[in-house]
């Protein structure tokens, strides 16, 4: 990650610039927060695909509750009460996910894939596909309040990383995540409460996704039902580049954070170089692949 930043800084005019770094940080906030929830899921040996549509639903839902444009609910709700409701929705989705996985024994991939589609549909149904704008000013505080010229949104992300890093590395809950992801039979046999831990993981992932959606709306000052689309693959890429194993049982949040920043840097570098937008997706994809190949080579030969 650092070497990549250095290379970009040296080779690209205008990359080495505090403002650009602040931009990279700000632009990575949403992907970054979502990646925390996904990392927890993957470390415990599960996969959550539903977070993208939860974030999208939360984005349009919070706008719908608080906005005063034509397609809103007309409740004129306080945005912070709306945040609580969004978090509740996210946690309910998390509960449904864990019910499907734990009680009905559906694989987490399939369970969360179906929920992903359902919630995505719900988001479109809510406003019949229309966007919502004219939100109260208090909604935008996380974007307008700035500390050292950095808005609160990336700061919230950093705080989340610190808290969740601590939980993962220093609590029994975190240790149990690695145990379940490493050997679920051992977890059962040695009295780890597998069901409780996994349902908590999905609760957390749902809540983080809901928070992200709310933040997206706050930043954009409005929402449409497809706000978060495309984030699923971006988050998965960041998490895998960050060294989280898709098989479960390994990964660290500093690594994930680096992965998130790397993706964001690549995007920023491509922007600054003013490469035709038609080709940037291809280049980004190849760069992600490149990062994964380097990581894989490192693991094969440095053992």
Partner 1 sequence: MEILLRIEGISKSFGSVRALNDVSFEIFQNESVGLVGDNGAGKSTLLKILSGNYLPDKGDIYLNGIKVNFDSPIDAKKMGIETVYQDLLLCTNLNSISNLFIGREITKNYPGLKILQKRKMGEKTFEIMKKFGINIPSLKERVEFLSGGERQAVALGRFVEWGQNLALLDEPTAALGVRETRKVLDLISKIKKEKEELSMIIVSHNIQQVLEVTDRIIVLRNGSIVGIRDKISTSPEEIVGLITGAISI
Q: Which residues bind partner 1 (CB under 8 A)?
A: 170-176, 178-179, 181-183, 185-192, 249-250
Nearer to partner 1, 99 or 173 (CB): 173
Nearer to partner 1, 25 or 36 (CB): 36
Nearer to partner 1, 203 or 288 (CB): 203
CA 211 to chain centre: 10
Beta bridge partners of residue 147, listed in sequence order: 150
| Least separation in angstroms between CB 181 and partner 1 | 7
Record the tokens describing residue 230, joined without a space.
């495309």
| Least separation in angstroms between CB 192 and partner 1 | 5
Beta bridge partners of residue 146, listed in sequence order: 151
| Least separation in angstroms between CB 36 and partner 1 | 18
Nearer to partner 1, 190 or 301 (CB): 190
Beta bridge partners of residue 151, listed in sequence order: 146
Q: What is the DSSP secondary structure assignment for residue 137, as one 8-state letter?
A: G
Q: Which residues contact 280 (CB under 8 A, 6 or more apart)?
A: 267, 270
Nearer to partner 1, 159 or 175 (CB): 175
| Least separation in angstroms between CB 194 and partner 1 | 10
Round to whole Å and give the CA distance between 270 and 281: 10
Q: Which residue has the tokens 């559906």?
A: 106
Residue pair 27/219 in contact by the 8 Å Cβ criterion: no
| Least separation in angstroms between CB 80 and partner 1 | 23
Work out the burial of residue 62: count CB atoms within 10 Å of its CB; fewer than 13 is exposed, 13-18 middle, 19 or more buried: buried
Q: Which residues contact 2 (CB under 8 A, 6 or more apart)?
A: none
């Amino acid at each position: 990650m650092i070497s990549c930043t250095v290379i970009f800084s040296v080779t690209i005019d205008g990359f080495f610039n505090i403002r650009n770094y602040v931009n990279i940080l700000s632009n990575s906030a949403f992907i970054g927060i979502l990646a925390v929830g996904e990392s927890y899921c993957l470390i415990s040996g599960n996969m959550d695909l539903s977070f993208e549509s939860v974030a999208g639903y939360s984005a349009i839902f919070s706008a719908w509750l608080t906005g005063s444009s034509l397609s809103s609910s007309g409740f004129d709700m306080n945005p912070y009460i709306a945040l609580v409701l969004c978090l509740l929705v996210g946690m309910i989705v998390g509960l449904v996910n864990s019910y499907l996985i734990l009680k009905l024994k559906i694989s987490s991939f399939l369970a969360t894939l179906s929920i992903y589609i359902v919630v995505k549909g719900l988001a479109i149904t809510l406003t019949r596909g229309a966007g919502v704008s004219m939100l109260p000013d208090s909604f935008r505080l996380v974007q307008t309040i700035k500390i050292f010229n950095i808005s609160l949104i990336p700061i919230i992300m950093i705080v989340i990383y610190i808290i969740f890093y601590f939980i993962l590395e220093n609590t029994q809950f975190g240790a149990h995540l690695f145990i379940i992801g490493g050997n679920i039979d051992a977890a059962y046999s040695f009295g780890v409460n597998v069901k409780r831990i996994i349902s908590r993981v999905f609760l957390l992932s749902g809540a983080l996704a809901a928070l992200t959606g709310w933040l997206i709306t706050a930043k954009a000052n409005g929402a449409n039902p497809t706000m978060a689309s495309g984030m699923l693959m971006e988050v998965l890429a960041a998490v895998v580049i960050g060294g989280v194993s898709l098989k479960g049982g390994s990964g660290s949040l500093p690594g994930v954070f680096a992965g998130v920043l790397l993706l964001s840097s690549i995007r920023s570098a491509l922007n600054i170089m003013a490469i035709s937008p038609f080709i940037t997706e291809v280049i980004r994809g190849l760069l992600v692949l490149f990062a994964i190949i380097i990581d894989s080579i490192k693991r094969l030969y440095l053992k």
